[in-house]
Amino acid sequence: MTQADYVIVGAGSAGCAVAYRLAEAGKSVLIVEHGGTDAGPFIQMPGALSYPMNMKRYDWGYVSEPEPHLGGRQLACPRGKVIGGSSSINGMVYVRGHALDYDHWEDSGAAGWGYADVLPYFHRMETWHDGGHGGDPAWRGTDGPLHVTRGRRENPLYHAFVEAGRQAGYPVTGDYNGRQQEGFGPMEQTVYKGRRWSAANAYLKPALKRENCDLVRGLVERIEITEGRATGVVLADGRVIHARAEVILAASSINSPKILMLSGIGPAQHLAEHGISVVADRPGVGGNLQDHLEMYIQMAAAQPITLYKYWNLFGKAMVGAQWLFTKTGLGATNNFESAGFIRSRAGVQYPDIQFHFLPIAVRYDGQAAAEGHGFQAHVGPMRSQSRGRVSLRSSDPAADPLIRFNYMSTQQDWEDFRACIRLTREIFAQDAFKPFVKHEIQPGDAVQSDDALDDAIREHAESAYHPCGTCRMGRADDPDAVVDPEGRVIGVDQLRVVDSSVFPQITNGNLNGPSIMTGEKMADHILGRAPLPPSNAEPWVNPAWETSQR
C-alpha cells in the first residue's frame, strides 16, 4: 500500500475517471482520499441533495473571505470530502458546456482542447438515456461509465417553463448537450435507476474491483519532490506513498493549488511569506479563480401543485420510503427537470445565461421553504470577467486555504446580472405561466430600478458552486499557466493536475461533466496514447446572434 505506478490525489470527478482508465490499461494505481464512504441514503437518493452538501462528514466546509462587492458577505464553497468528491454532494445537473467554450480554451493556449477534440471524450464517457424526450442521439455516447438521464417532467410547471421561453421568442432545444445548447428544454441529470450516478459509482467502484487499483485514506500534506521530479506524496500522519511513474493531483480547484503551494510550487513571494522553500516559481498557482453566481427568482404559486406539499415530516417520509423500497418517485430525481440557455443581448455569440427551473420555492441548502407553494428559476451570468485567488492561510496542511472569489468586481457583471433578472421576469410573465403565478416573492415586485436590483444581488446572490481555473492550462512558455495542455506541471517532472482547476475559462453551465471529461482526456495523455480522433460535428450557433438577442 505504499507504492504504485501512479498515485492520484483525490477521488473526485476527474480523479475517479483517471483511476478507472489507468487501471483498465494495466497500470498500478493508488488513490489517496481524505473523505470516507458514500454509503447511505443522503448521498445515494437524488431528492435528498440538500443534505450531504451541509454535512461536515461529506463536505470540506469552505467559505470565501468577505466579498467586497457583495457587502462583505462570506459565501459557502462546498467541496466533496467523500469518495466521488463533489459529484457525490452536487445537484447532479449534467451540462457539457458550449462548443465555443472549448474553442476559447484552445485559443488561450490549451492546444488540443477545442470542441472537436473534447467531443469524442464526452461520447466515450456517457451512456445516454433520452427517456423518450427526443434529443440528438448521434451526438451522445452509448456505452460509457457515466449514465445520463432525464427526469419524468410530470409536474405541469416544467412544461410551462419551456413553453414560456418559446412564447418569449426563444428557441426550444431537444438536447442542450447535443447540437444546439441555446434555448429551452429538458434538463439532464447524472441519475441512474433512481440513484445518484456519481463518479464513485460510475468509475471508482469498478476500478477498485481490479487488483491493480486501491484506495488509501489520508490527508495529503505535500508532494514529495526529489531533484525536480515528483516521487510521491507525504501524508499528514507521516506515511509516504511512492509513485514510480507520476503523481496526479485531482484534489479540486481549491485543494489542488493549496497542495502545490505547500509543496513549493506557486508564487515565490507568497511561499516565502509562509516559510516554504520554492521548488518552482509559478505565479499562476491559485490565480484565475472563477465561479458562477446565481440568484433564485421565486414566484408564489396560484395552484397547490408544487413540491411544497411534501415539505413536511410526513411528506418527506413518504417520498423517502417510496425511494428506499422502489428507487422511484420524487426521491429518484434532483427535481431540476427543465432548463434554459439564452444570450443576454445582441452581439453575444452564444448563451451567457443559464436557467435551472425548480417547482418549489426553497433555498439551495433546503433550510427555508418560502411562503408556501411556489417555484423558482436559478439564474446568473455564465462568463463573468471577475477573477479571484486561492492562497495559503498558513503552512499548516490542516488549515483551510484563503478563498477570495472577488465576485461582481466589474461593471459588466452588474449589467449582466440585472439583465438576468429582468429576462427571467419576462419569462414568468408569459401566458404559459398565467394559471400558475400569484406574485413574485424574490426579489419582489417593488424591486425594479437598477439600484434596487443591485441591492438585491448584493444581498441574495449565491455561488452555484462551480469554482475552477486555479491551475490554468496553457502554453509551456506562458508565465501564468500552471500546466501544459497535457496536464503536466510546468517546471516539475512527473507531476500533473487533471481536475477543474486546469480550465482556462469557466464553461457554460454546471462543471461536473467537463471535469469528468478532463479526467478522461488526461488519462490518454498520461498513458502516452494518441488522443481520440477529432469530431467534425458542426454545433449550432444562432445565425442572427450579431443583431438579435433571441
Catalytic residue set = 466
Joined grid coordinates for residue 237: 500522519
Strands 146-150 and 183-186: unpaired
HSE-up of 469 (CA within 13 Å, CB side)?
24
Please answer whether residues 175 and 187 qualify as being in contact, where contact means their C-beta atoms are separated by less than 8 angstroms: no
d(CA 146, CA 123): 10
- Separation in Å, CA 544 to CA 182, 183, 300, 354: 12, 14, 35, 20
Residue 92 is assigned to a ligand binding site: yes
Is 362 annotated for ligand binding?
no
Torsion angle of the four alpha carbons 103, 198, 330, 381, in this order, in degrees rounded to the nearest 10: -30
What is residue 348's three-state secondary structure? coil
- Give the separation between CA 331 and CA 193, rounded to whole angstroms: 11
Q: Is there a contact between 513 and 94 (Cβ–Cβ < 8 Å)?
A: yes
93 in a labelled binding site: yes
Q: Is there a contact between 196 and 43 (Cβ–Cβ < 8 Å)? A: yes
Contacts of 432 (CB under 8 A, 6+ apart): 160, 161, 163, 164, 167
Q: Distance between CA atoms of 244 and 255, rounded to whole angstroms? A: 23
The b-or-e profile of 81-91 (16+ CB within 10 A means b, else e) is: bbbbbbbbbbb
Any known ligand binding at 469?
Answer: no
90 appears as a binding residue in the annotation: yes
What lies within 8 Å, CB to CB, of 522 at 6+ separation is: 14, 18, 486, 487, 496, 498
- CB atoms inside a 10 Å sphere around CB 540: 15
Other Cβ atoms closer than 10 A to 162: 22
Q: Which residues contact 477 (CB under 8 A, 6 or more apart)?
A: none
Contact 103, 111 (CB under 8 A): no
Q: Is 379 annotated as a binding residue?
A: no
Whole-Å CA distances, 165 to 94, 169, 184, 357: 21, 7, 6, 12
| Alpha helix positions (H), 328-461 | 411-428, 450-460
Residues annotated within the binding site for FAD are 82, 90-93, 220
Residues annotated within the binding site are 82, 90-93, 220
